[in-house]
Amino acid sequence: MIPYGRQTISEADIRAVVDVLRSDFLTQGSAVPAFESAVANYCGAHYACAVNSATSALHIACLALGVGKGDSVWTSPITFVASANCALYCGADVDFVDIDPLTYNISVECLAAKLAQAEKTGNLPKVLIPVHLSGQSCDMGAIRRLGKQYGFNIIEDASHAIGGQYRGQPIGNCSYSDITVFSFHPVKIITTGEGGMALTNDAGLARRMQLLRSHGITREIDQMTHEPDGPWYYQQIELGFNYRMTDLQAALGLSQMQRLDEFVATRHSIAKRYDDLLSHLPVLIPWQYSDSYSSVHLYVIRLQLDLIGKTHRAIFEALRVAGIGVNLHYIPVYLQPYYANLGFNTGYCPEAENYYTQAISLPIFPSLTLVEQDQVVSMLSRAISRATAFDF
């Protein structure tokens, strides 16, 4: 099976992890701060807080911004459930804004309309979590303007997007947001096995996230309520978690950072080749803003089912049977039974539901070979032509 995504591990990566295994500290050593600095410097952000997953990063980002009971957090329905769950962890409510039909990111028009309505009814969001689907930035300039106008904070879920740029600047510099979150799960752009990071330019938010990732405990005298009782002393000043990243993970991440630009460039060339090879098929290829540079985490096509005359599911299953590990990113979050139980119904975000009936993620990762890519395209052609006798 050709997977839809997979990690790219070098001998240098392996050596970096083995070096940590031979060192004194498997966790809470020097690799975590080194990885944090590398990512912060790359992105042009002041502070970085490494954690054990992007899910944890989203959770402590919400808490650091004060999200709690009675608050509302809005996000896109076309995302992984973690982008919404983080608000529920904090006791807040979640709501969804429909997607843009071209980029599949949150629609700025729908957002503006929903905000105008929410202002009238007095239930504006406290935090918005735009998700950079496939690694293409949302329209952050417009989102930031709405944030200022309506007074909400912004957490960028950039789990797909490290290595990408928006208007010539690295995603993660937090020019348009309070906090940006990355994921280092193996299918993402760079990996630490499991892992995530939260970036910010705000010293107060950075301090709170650092506390929350490690039990709410501090060893900094200036954060304590009184002088230390002795050299052993620490204080718990918040209710935090154990969300720490290990040094084994950080060493892998630091080593992977050296090839980040290369990984993204390779993803672009694979995507470009798909664009060309698929041009004769009845599918929509990903649409890209001209002024942004995607990290190309996913390559999502949409089946033009009216031309194909067979179901989305039939094509998807034919590809899986042929050994092509296609996937679907994503099921609209509010259609999950857990969210349906919270009161969301089918029809809530029509554009997202329409997307869900047509989208397929084709395999894309740096070590995908030309032969494998040709195989993906030929199996897709066959699945479609068998369905329709479509003339190629």
Ligand X SMILES: *Cc1c(COP(=O)(O)O)cnc(C)c1O
Taking the complex as a whole, the smallest distance from the CB of residue 160 to ligand X amounts, in Å, to 6
Which residues ranging from 50 to 89 are in contact with ligand X (CB under 6 A)?
Answer: 53-55, 79-80, 82-83
Q: If you write DSSP's letter for every residue of 61-109 in order, what string do you get?
A: HHHHTT--TT-EEEE-SSS-THHHHHHHHTT-EEEE-PBPTTT-SBPHH
The stretch among 25-33, 135-143, 157-165, 261-269 that binds ligand X (CB under 6 A) is 157-165
Taking the complex as a whole, the smallest distance from the CB of residue 289 to ligand X amounts, in Å, to 19
Of 218 and 256, nearer to ligand X (C-beta) is 256
Question: Residue 136 corresponds to which tokens in the numbers above?
Answer: 């293409």
Of 185 and 267, nearer to ligand X (C-beta) is 185
CB 166 within 8 A of CB 140: yes
Of 83 and 295, nearer to ligand X (C-beta) is 83
- Taking CB under 6 A as the criterion, the residue among 59, 160, 244, 302 binding ligand X is 160
In angstroms, the CA 381 to CA 273 distance is 15
Taking the complex as a whole, the smallest distance from the CB of residue 339 to ligand X amounts, in Å, to 15
- Taking CB under 6 A as the criterion, the residue among 95, 156, 157, 178 binding ligand X is 157
Of 76 and 218, nearer to ligand X (C-beta) is 76
In angstroms, the CA 189 to CA 90 distance is 28
- Taking CB under 6 A as the criterion, the residue among 38, 97, 131, 308 binding ligand X is 131
Beta strands in the chain (DSSP E): 47-51, 72-75, 93-96, 127-129, 153-157, 165-166, 169-170, 179-183, 196-200, 217-218, 235-236, 283-284, 292-293, 299-303, 359-362
Which residues ranging from 313 to 372 are in contact with ligand X (CB under 6 A)?
Answer: none
Taking the complex as a whole, the smallest distance from the CB of residue 221 to ligand X amounts, in Å, to 33
Of 194 and 353, nearer to ligand X (C-beta) is 194
DSSP lists the bridge partners of residue 74 as 95, 128
Taking the complex as a whole, the smallest distance from the CB of residue 295 to ligand X amounts, in Å, to 12
The Cα-based distances of 216 to 30, 131, 209, 230 in angstroms read 21, 28, 9, 19
Interaction of residue 185 with ligand X, rule CB under 6 A: yes
Taking the complex as a whole, the smallest distance from the CB of residue 83 to ligand X amounts, in Å, to 5
- Taking CB under 6 A as the criterion, the residue among 72, 159, 173, 246 binding ligand X is 159
CB 250 within 8 A of CB 50: yes
SS3 letters across 102-119: CCCCECHHHHHHHHHHHH
Name the residue type at position 94.
V
Question: Applying CB under 6 A, what is the total number of residues that bind ligand X?
Answer: 14
Interaction of residue 183 with ligand X, rule CB under 6 A: yes
Site for ligand X, rule CB under 6 A = 53-55, 79-80, 82-83, 131, 157, 159-160, 183, 185, 196
